[in-house]
Amino acid sequence: MITVRPTDRLFFAVRPDAEAVEAICSARRKLCEKAGLSGPEVPPEHLHVTLWRVADYVVPPTSEDIDAIVRQAGTVEMPPFRLSFRCAKSVSRGALVLSAGRGCTDLERLSSRLRDALTSPDAERKHAFRPHMTLMRSETILPERRLKAIAWTVREIVLVHSLLGKATHRPVGRLPLRTRQLPLPGFDF
């Protein structure tokens, strides 16, 4: 029997703004110098925090698939919020990540709301959400290190199409964070 492996993945993520990307790359450079880390780095334009992995595909997802997923995710209500990472550490498979510890309540809430919008109520919850941002892969293990906080305001979620094993990430949908607009008495919008 032939096993067909997925070639494509869709996932929702938040991405740092330009100032945060600069701070992240600077922190990574300093960690590499101080701890002797080396290995493939995540390109600045690929830095992200995964909120929810939508699906893996053995053929590329269609534009109809993408539109339906974006429509479903569009029901999520969440105001913009501040996200801050305060430490770096090595985790499984040699990944060096930024971690926020317990300081990601809003990010956890956003992930949960997104998961609820995209899955059926009885869907199995396979993995706990552990907010992190992968910076690079290294064979050198780095114990947890405190960093000067790296923060930005999360204003949107991005649906990313990834070509598995090819280091290709392409944004295919963007949704601004928002709260429901309540009508004001006497005003007709």
Average pLDDT over residues 1-22: 93
- Residue 126 is predicted with a pLDDT of 63
Measured CA to CA, the distance from residue 138 to residue 184 in angstroms comes to 55
Mean pLDDT, to the nearest integer, of 150-175?
Answer: 94
Q: How many Cα atoms sit within 13 Å of 8 on the Cβ side?
A: 14
What tens digit of pLDDT does each residue of 70-124 get?
999 999 999 999 999 999 999 988 899 999 766 689 999 999 999 999 986 655 5
Answer whether residue 22 shows pLDDT above 90. yes
Q: Say which range, 6-20, 52-66, 89-103, 104-118, has the weakest mean pLDDT.
A: 89-103
Percent of the chain's residues with pLDDT above 70: 89
Q: Which domains does the chain have, with CATH numbers?
A: 8-176 (3.90.1140.10)
DSSP string, 44-105: GGG--EEEEEEEEESSPPPHHHHHHHHHHHTT--B--EEEEEEEEEE-GGGEEEEE-TT--H
Q: pLDDT band for position 1 (50/70/90)?
A: confident
pLDDT of residue 179: 78
Beta bridge partner(s), residue 50? 13
CA angle 98, 79, 43 (to 5 degrees): 30
> Can you give the pLDDT at residue 165?
85
In this predicted model, what pLDDT tens digit does every residue of 115-161 receive, in sequence order? 999 986 655 566 678 899 999 999 988 999 999 999 999 999 999 99
Cα torsion 18, 19, 23, 29 to 10°: value is 40
CB 39 within 8 A of CB 93: no
% the chain with pLDDT above 90: 74
pLDDT of residue 189: 47
- The pLDDT of residue 4: 86
Predicted local confidence at residue 181, as pLDDT: 57
For position 94, what pLDDT does the model report? 85
Torsion of CA 23, 25, 29, 34, to 10 degrees: 50
